Amino acid sequence: MKPSLLPSGRRATARLGVLVVCLLGAWTDLVQAAPTTQVWQAVSDRTLDRQRGGFSFGGGLEVSFGITRSVFINGQLITETVLNITRMADITPAWASRLREELQSLTLVQNGPGNTFVSGTAPAPRPPATTTATANGSGSGSGAATTSSIVGTVSGTVIQNTLNNQQILHQTIISASSNSLGMLRLASLHSSLSEAIRQSVGQH
C-alpha cells in the first residue's frame, strides 16, 4: 500500500466530505422511497376503548344525578327526601312539576313539645307526619318528632328541638355519574356541589 501523499489535515477533510456525500445520498433515497401520502386506518371502538380510560359511542350524553337528604334523631330516621334523575330525556312534565315542587319546599322537623314555626305558607304534613324517636336525655313530652313540608318557600331543612341530650344528624348525599369522558371532571363538579352545600348550611 502506498502512503498517502496528502497531509493529515487534508485527509481528514476529504474523508468528512465523502461521509457527507454518502449521508446525503442515503437521505435522498429515503425521501424518494417514502410515499407521497400516508393512509391512516381507524382502529375499532373495542380496541380504542382498551387503549384509554373510557369511550363514548356518540349516542348522547347520559348523566345520572341524585340528592338524598336525611334527618336522624337518636339514630332513628325521621325524614328522608330522595331525588333521582337518571335520564334527562325521560323527564315528563309531571315529573318536572314534582321536581320543581321538591326544590321549592322546606322540610320542618320538630322534636319535643313547645316548638313553634312562623311562615307565610301553612305547613303541610309529610307522611309519616309523626315519628317516635327514643329520647336519650331529660325533657318533658313523649319524644315524638313531627315532620312537615312547607311548599313555595326556599329549599332546605329546619330542625327544632326542645329536649336535652338529643343526637341529631342531618346529612345530604349527592351522587353523580356519566358515560362521557368529558364528565370525568366530576371531581370538579363534586367540589362545586360541596361548596354549594357549605354555603347553604344556614338554611338547614
Question: What is the per-residue pLDDT across 135-159, written as a single tens digit (0 to 9) for each?
Answer: 444 444 445 788 888 777 677 889 9
Residue 36's Cβ-side half-sphere holds a number of Cα atoms within 13 Å equal to: 0
Higher pLDDT, 68 or 4: 68
Least confident stretch, 125-134, 155-164, 165-174: 125-134
Mean pLDDT calculated for residue range 106-113:
90
Whether pLDDT at 78 is above 80: yes
Least confident stretch, 45-49, 61-65, 89-93, 173-177: 45-49
* CB-based contact 83:200 (threshold 8 Å): no
Q: How far is CA 134 from the centre of its chain?
A: 36
Q: Where are the domains of the chain?
A: 63-203
Q: Please name which of 164, 177, 117, 170 lies closest in space to residue 138, comparing C-alpha atoms.
A: 164
Whether pLDDT at 68 is above 80: yes
Mean pLDDT calculated for residue range 3-18:
50
Whether pLDDT at 40 is above 80: no
* CB-based contact 99:151 (threshold 8 Å): no
